[in-house]
Structure 1
């Protein structure tokens, strides 16, 4: 149990992002794909914010490359996904 607690504490930022992604998947499975895409983009932006403000030894699996690269890539991808989710025509779904 102590090993699980250490793992969870070290990877808490990544676990938070995964929970938001799970919510996005639930929206998509419930046929709310635009809302799911928006939440997925928000999860990516959340990952960028966490990577920006937390020290590298605390972000766990969110650290892939340098901080500048990780934040820039996550902001670009998250921003693009949110923009697409907001700008796509709802196709009569209101």
Structure 2
């Protein structure tokens, strides 16, 4: 039976704090998007993905928690990086449309 505050396999719940930090950044992105600053919200999403990739790169496997989405650290970091780059590119290059506030 697992001790109090630990998950199966003896991993403490604190291992998921890096993921919680990424979720806080994503919550900030949602707030900015809901305030009609969708481009800033999208850039914050890209920033959250960058932070997730960076944390996945530097944290040891047993401390990565929910940031580990694949078996390989390399695949995780490349996936986070590619998604970050794609969202950043899209958010910085789209002009016009229903969300354009330049007029």
Q: TM-score, normalised by structure 1?
A: 0.87
**In angstroms, what is the RMSD of aligned CA positions?**
1.7
* Structure 2: 5+ residue stretches without partners: 7-11
Structure with higher helix content: 1
Residues matched between the structures, number = 91
Point out 4+ residue stretches in structure 1 off by more than 3 angstroms: none
| Aligned partner of 2:90 among 76, 84, 89 | 84
Structure with higher Rg: it is: 2
TM-score of the aligned structures, taking structure 2 as reference length: 0.80
Q: 1:93 aligns with which of 74, 99, 102?
A: 102
Stretches of structure 1 that go unaligned for 5 or more consecutive residues are none
Superposition pairs of residues 1-94 of structure 1, within 5 angstroms: 3=5, 6-7=12-13, 9-65=14-70, 66-89=72-95, 91-93=100-102
The higher-RCO structure (CA 8 Å, 6+ apart) is 1
